[in-house]
Chains A and B, each alone.
Chain A
């Protein structure tokens, strides 16, 4: 069975630009979460979506937005990129995003902002 997939693998953008990252969850999983991991730190929660609705949001500015599609795949959008947005962006899927359900992570998208 395919795991969580993310695209692209790497991305280089310039300050002020916009970027869209994509995630496909494990088949049967209805919840997708997004995390930002800056080098040397633990992942920071950005969003969680379940059944196409936003169910959780971390402490990130409005430049960050996301959505989930009917097939449960998800996109993370970041507008007006800053140098500090350079990080590994991880997507995780789980059955319903609650309780003991495990989160399975994708390989991540490494974003570099110059």
Chain B
């Protein structure tokens, strides 16, 4: 069965430093997609980055990169040069397959606090 695990309820990082948010997943489907979303206090979910299970390279989007280790079933989000505006909840999510994969499951989230 699908499962997403985020083991860090809260993380602190100093402004301008890098931070890694952990995500492990479990699936028996060889085809899947992994997503990271940011949710500020306003509540809106903001898409950050996507990694497909067959992608050879780790995904990068600006200051966000995804450290994808398929054998370990981990998809950690790395935020470089943290900014105060990065303080928010971060969710890892997974969608299985390309035909029946209409269901996306989310982890419990990690709350990131960026200190000035």
Contacts and interface: CB of A to CB of B under 8 A. Distances in A.
Nearest to A108: B43
Contact of A100 (B50, B105, B106): B50
A52 to B, nearest CB: 14
Nearest to B48: A102
Contacts of B99: 98
Give the interface residue-count category, chain B: 20 to 34
Contact of A90 (B45, B101, B108): B45
A73 interface: no
A107 B47 CA distance: 13
Interface of A: 31, 33, 35, 41-45, 48, 50, 55-56, 58, 88, 90, 92, 97-100, 102-108, 110
Given A42-B4, A99-B95, A103-B47, 8 more contacts: A55-B102, A56-B103, A99-B97, A99-B98, A99-B101, A102-B50, A105-B44, A108-B43
